[in-house]
Amino acid sequence: MSSTPVKRVPLYFSFAFLFLGSLINFIKASDVNTEAQESNRVIHLPGQPSTPSISQFSGYITVNKDHGRALFYWFFEAQSQPAKKPLVLWFNGGPGCSSIGYGAALELGPLRVSENRTGLHFNKYAWNREANLLFLESPIGVGFSYTNMSSDMNKLDDGFVAEDAYNFLVNWLESYPQFKTRDFFLAGESYAGHYVPQLAELVYDRNKERNRYPHINLKGFIVGNPETDDYYDSKGLLEYAWSHTVISDQLYNEAKQVCDFNLFNWSEECNEVMSILYEKYREIDIYNIYAPSCLTKSTASVADSRRDHSVESLSKVSDRGLRRLRIPGGYDPCYSRYAEEYFNRRDVQSSLHANLKGGKWRVCNNAIFRTYNYTVFSILPIYAKLIKSGLKIWIYSGDTDGRVPVIGSRYCVEALGLPLKSSWGSWFHRHQVAGRMVEYEGLSLVTVRGAGHLVPLNRPSEALALFHSFLTGEQLPTHP
């Protein structure tokens, strides 16, 4: 009995079919991602200058489908060679302050809100000259970010924020897959001194579980005037106020006697003394002590915000009945007003694909600041862990900031006990001393002379030079 031989497809044809199928699926996925990206492209914002051309996108990324939690972002491609430049994710602090209202629109984004209410003007010192720049309104309740489950607002703490930010990042990279393999850095200021290292640690840990989580090409992080360690930050705040003649010798000595900053919650005696210190700072701008105070008539929302910063409303009550006075990070009453006026415009919100869930958009949500669960005393253990991992880590500090002063940041860095790489010295910009810097094995501390809490706002050219050095590895000039 004869049989007809079976014709077999050559092996290379099988590989070719598999490759062709994969290619078709890739093209289909790319088409979907391109469509999704284009739907989030910002064509033109009200009041935006016609030149230069800016490639920008904004919208929402869902971080929890069950609760309807979504975080709002504003993304700017690099001004040149975006396909070759790294991706940087920026956070502002507070907690409760908007990275859109501060970082993007007032500090380091390419479009700044104009003081004359005409709309926007181009920022020639924008950080997207150096990188693709992604701004995130975090946590939920900040700016345009929201949740459909009101109980989520009672859960806000550092761990909750880090988990949502991680989910945002993973899902954003799915929507913008061209950045999946790009060098990735985190950046931020003020209470982002918690957000940034904590998210970096989460990414680092989950990168080691390739079978469960996608790999994110994290290379390092940079934080400005960061809240890092409650003890050293508080000690630095007190010493800075005394050394810069804000408080008397008597008040300084009394505070040293009654305050134990090692305690998570201060004693009533310490709170009383520190409340006097904060009252003295109300005469000037704690965030930039040599800058003139804002005397412009405020809008109602900013006036409310100023009242929210009174010492009576800064107390944080614990389960034990003790309290600790806290003052928000990242507040600027003059510039906040311009941002709030702009982002509350309907035409602006429509152009940004933003959905304001009731009420008004505020540059800082003071309710979050008051109800946030402050559960982490120190970020220094995370620094010690991530320094060993080989990540590039910089801290920069405007030296006229009384809120998170450079003294406290120096204490924090010294507490790590790192080997010295290059000693304390000046760095220069445009033939002038721009600040000081010291390099340790695994971490650099850079100061910016004459800058307050918002360094890119106060010293934009120096801030851009510092950011360029951080990303490229080029040394900051040490001679004029």
Measured CA to CA, the distance from residue 420 to residue 398 in angstroms comes to 22
Q: Which of 98, 99, 138, 190 is catalytic?
A: 190
Measured CA to CA, the distance from residue 202 to residue 205 in angstroms comes to 5
Please answer whether residues 329 and 403 qualify as being in contact, where contact means their C-beta atoms are separated by less than 8 angstroms: yes
Please answer whether residues 333 and 298 qualify as being in contact, where contact means their C-beta atoms are separated by less than 8 angstroms: yes
Q: Please give the C-alpha separations between residue 341 and each of 120, 306, 334, in angstroms, as whole numbers.
A: 12, 17, 12
Helix (H, G, I), strand (E, B) or coil at 467: helix
Q: Which of 397, 409, 453, 469 is catalytic?
A: 453
Examine residue 477 and say whether the peptide bond preceding it is cis (omega within 30 degrees of 0): no
CA 80, 458, 161: angle at the middle one, nearest 5?
75
Strand ranges (E), 177-227? 184-189, 218-224
Task: Establish whether 53 is a catalytic residue.
Answer: no
User: Tokens for 441?
Assistant: 């094995």
Instruction: Report the largest interatomic distance among the alpha carbons of the chain, rounded to a whole angstrom.
Output: 113
Task: Establish whether 401 is a catalytic residue.
Answer: yes
Measured CA to CA, the distance from residue 373 to residue 381 in angstroms comes to 20
CA 356 to chain centre: 22
Q: What size, in residues, is the chain?
A: 480
Task: Establish whether 190 is a catalytic residue.
Answer: yes
Q: Which long-range contacts (CB under 8 A, 24 or more apart) does 349-358 make?
A: 349/144, 351/42, 351/43, 351/44, 351/45, 351/46, 352/42, 352/45, 352/58, 352/74, 352/144, 353/40, 353/42, 353/58, 353/59, 353/60, 354/58, 354/72, 354/144, 355/60, 355/144, 355/146, 356/144, 357/146
Please answer whether residues 395 and 405 qualify as being in contact, where contact means their C-beta atoms are separated by less than 8 angstroms: no
Q: Please give the C-alpha separations between residue 376 and each of 40, 229, 417, in angstroms, as whole numbers.
A: 36, 9, 21
Q: Please give the C-alpha separations between residue 445 and each of 35, 54, 434, in angstroms, as whole numbers.
A: 43, 32, 13
Tell me which residue of 167, 114, 134 sits closest to 59, measured CA to CA: 134
Q: Which of 158, 285, 401, 444 is catalytic?
A: 401
Strand ranges (E), 123-196? 132-137, 184-189
Measured CA to CA, the distance from residue 214 to residue 208 in angstroms comes to 10
Please answer whether residues 236 and 405 qualify as being in contact, where contact means their C-beta atoms are separated by less than 8 angstroms: yes
CA 232 to chain centre: 21
Task: Give catalytic residue positions.
Answer: 190, 401, 453
